[in-house]
Amino acid sequence: MVVRILPKDSDTDLDELARAVESKLPKDVRVSDKRVEDIGFGLKALLMGFLMPEVDGVGEALEQYLSTVELVGEYDVQSVTRI
């Protein structure tokens, strides 16, 4: 699952945002990739790839978790694929 994460504040350090997201991921979810995406006007987003088992509810658990991370302003799922 690839998720684009926008920080709550435009001056948030994206490395700090990534650490906050990675700190308490749901069980069996791990980060496979992360990179910064320029949006425009100096705004940046964090693109994070997550690996998880193909089990009902794990994607929803990740989305619920992301909504609780203090530094996350918005997020949207860019893609979901099977490996």
Per-residue pLDDT tens over the stretch 25-72: 999 999 999 999 999 888 999 999 999 999 999 999 999 999 999 999
CA nearest 76: which of 51, 46, 55, 39? 46
Q: Is residue 24 predicted with pLDDT exceeding 90?
A: yes
Residue 83's pLDDT is 82
Q: What residue type is assigned to position 22 of the chain?
A: E
Token representation of residue 4: 């684009």
Find the domain containing 16 and state its range: 2-79
Q: Whats the size of the chain, residue-wise? A: 83
Burial of 50 (0-12, 13-18, 19+ CB in 10 A): buried
Quote the pLDDT of residue 42: 86
The CATH number linked to 71 is 3.30.70.60
Q: What is the pLDDT at residue 45? A: 96
Give the Cα-Cα-Cα angle 15, 16, 19 (nearest 5 degrees). Answer: 90
